[in-house]
Amino acid sequence: MCGICGIINFKDRSPVNAEVLNKMTRVLNHRGPDDGGKFNDGYAGLGIRRLSIIDPEGGTQPIYNEDRNVVIVFNGEIYNFKELREGLKKNGHKFKTSTDTEVIIHLYEERGEECLNFLNGMFAFCIWDKKNEKLFLARDRLGIKPLYYCINEKGLSFASEIKSLLQDPFIQQNLNQEAIIDFFSLGYILSPKSIFKNTYSLPPGYFLLLANGEIKENRYWDLSYEKEETSGPEETSEKFFEVISSSVKSHLISDVPLGAFLSGGIDSSTIVSFMQSSNQNSTKTFSIIIDEHGWNEGDFIGVAKEHFNTEHYESVIDSIDTEIQNLLPKAIWYNDEPFADSSFIPTFLVSSLARTKVKVALSGDGGDENLAGYPSYIADKIAFCMESIPGLSNLTLLQKPVSFLTSNPRILRFIDGLKFPPQKAHYWWRVLFTDEEREKLFSEDFIKGYTGYNSYFTFENYFNKCDGNSFLKKTLYTDIKTWLTDDILRKVDRASMANSLEVRVPFLDHKVVEFCASIPDNLKIRGFNTKYILKKTMSGKVPESIISRKKKGFHLPVSKYIKNQLKDLTLTHLSKNSINSLGILNYNYISSLISEHMAGKRDHGQKIWALLCFSLWHQICYRKKLSEPPETI
């Protein structure tokens, strides 16, 4: 696992500034503390920081082909590289290392851009073909590994993280209004946008080609729901077992110690179950326990670790823990962009814990998006039922009476969403600030420049683009393209790489994802039972109490924290002076949210958390442009 960056001054063909390339590479040290290297030749320069996993001693990058006219920097893992290597050796290719990186460059010589179709793994890489003056950037099918690029007056720059790009003085840092709308709508930014204009995230399943002075993005993979399994539940379960078992086995390839995250849920328990079957030694597992009523999963973690007999390590976040306040500014810096998913903090902490024992950890991420595991899919089903029953369309009138009985934002948002067709309701239930609330949130100056963009447009586009013939298929496809890519995978990458830990996600092996797309809806959700086929497959292999438990997230109880250990931080960074200095937000509205929340009148915890994250980001990453994580703010 690594951090990569580079500059191609193809417009004026001026030499790459070595000091700028050094800065771009150095700011990625956390992604690759073991080793580093650079290629700087004329108007092309590449940088790499390496976390050594495969061939730790011999795999120093950049890596070249035999005659050194093709060079690669690579971030990720290719799980089928040994099979590919054998085929390439038979074709006469000579290898100097035992790395998967070298396999890619020789496969490129054989197949050109079509080499991507043969790679099974998570990756972001750059190949500079000096002889043909061609740049080849590529990102894996699901977007597990990040890759950003920017086009400026001299040419093109790229990097694993935006903070690396910002070391290039030719990159302008003008805020992207649509990205700001995304953030306050959803808590994250929808790709290919970034928080800065003219800086983009290369979409998953795409490659970028720079040749003859032209830049083109091309898609090489997309997920299809067109084909459906015709087997019955038993045979489908057997096939699913083989697919996920094979994926976990392939993800265990490593020349350094590895372990697994264990949350006490069925996804991580499934991964650990297959790891134990493949390992002769006890699997090392790692957990973070949030010691708050309604959030503590310690009992389920205990059941899992006892059942699998793992070598287990865990840490506790308690109600008086001051580490959250100290860690939040660092989390902001590592994320590069405004990001309001509070589960970043426990993910960071479990990554930090795991790094004390291993360099690689397997995670259960992706199971919910593949197999319809979120409560929102059940909410969709309820909404469909209500829509078909005459007289229930006015249930939104219950919102005011219900608000007197509960301040639970999820319940209120569910009722509010019933006024929309199911397609928009699915989006609405994950919205942070609604359209009406954003009108009050933004300043007059910000609203003056409003172009009419709405984050829902992206969701609607994916929904309509999906080739599946059911509502569930279309929502799963949409969530994989949005929520999974831009929130879940982003969080896991940044939190783990901040701790120099590689995290692998067997549920997102593209063969697993493609098989799950073929599973009929009634084997994903049966009645109101989510992830039915996974539960059936793992029955007897995972404790029944874990299989039958309710879904829980990994988020912090931010509503309580804002009133307690984060109160001073919140009031300082959401003060009138702080908000007005942003030039984007309306202090009067924000002040009312804080007052209602602190008085216990309404639960605005998630909204205030997002505002706090944005204010801290603006100070740390935008105004101060820090090149290393802050100790204090």
Strands in 104-184 per DSSP E = 121-129, 134-139, 148-151, 156-159
- The single-letter DSSP state of residue 485 is I
Find how far residue 57's CA is from the centre of its chain. 30
Instruction: Tell me the β-bridge partners of 209.
Output: 136, 216
10 Å Cβ neighbour count for 171?
Answer: 18
Instruction: Tell me the β-bridge partners of 504.
Output: 362
Q: Does residue 62 have a cis bond before it (omega within 30 degrees)?
A: yes
Per annotation, catalytic residue among 2, 115, 126, 621: 2
Cα separation, 231 vs 269, whole angstroms: 26
Q: How many residues does the chain have?
A: 633
Instruction: Tell me the β-bridge partners of 312.
Output: 285
Instruction: Tell me the β-bridge partners of 77.
Output: 122
Catalytic (active site) residue 2: yes
Cα separation, 131 vs 211, whole angstroms: 12
All residues at 6 or more sequence positions from 284 whose CB lies less than 8 Å from its CB, including other chains: 257, 258, 259, 260, 310, 311, 312, 313, 354, 357, 358
Residue of 15, 4, 336 whose CA lies nearest to 155: 15
10 Å Cβ neighbour count for 335?
Answer: 25
Say if residue 288 carries a ligand binding annotation: yes
All residues at 6 or more sequence positions from 475 whose CB lies less than 8 Å from its CB, including other chains: 377, 380, 423, 426, 463
Q: How far separated are the first and last CA of the chain, in Å rounded?
A: 30
Burial of 401 (0-12, 13-18, 19+ CB in 10 A): exposed
10 Å Cβ neighbour count for 607?
Answer: 25
SS3 230: coil
Say if residue 388 carries a ligand binding annotation: no
Q: Are strands 311-317 and 284-290 parallel, antiparallel or unpaired?
A: parallel
3-state helix, strand, coil split of the chain in percent (to 5) is 45, 15, 35
Residue of 582, 588, 585, 558 whose CA lies nearest to 570: 558
Strands in 437-518 per DSSP E = 502-504
The pair phi, psi for residue 50, each rounded to 5°, is: -115, 130
Say if residue 363 carries a ligand binding annotation: yes
Q: Which two tokens stand for residue 124?
A: 């972001």
All residues at 6 or more sequence positions from 448 whose CB lies less than 8 Å from its CB, including other chains: none
Tell me the one-letter amino acid at 298: G
Find how far residue 177's CA is from the centre of its chain. 22
Contact 81, 100 (CB under 8 A): yes
The pair phi, psi for residue 345, each rounded to 5°, is: -65, -55
Catalytic residue numbers read 2
Residue list, annotated binding site for L-glutamine: 100
Residue list, annotated binding site: 100, 288, 363-364
Residue list, annotated binding site for ATP: 288, 363-364
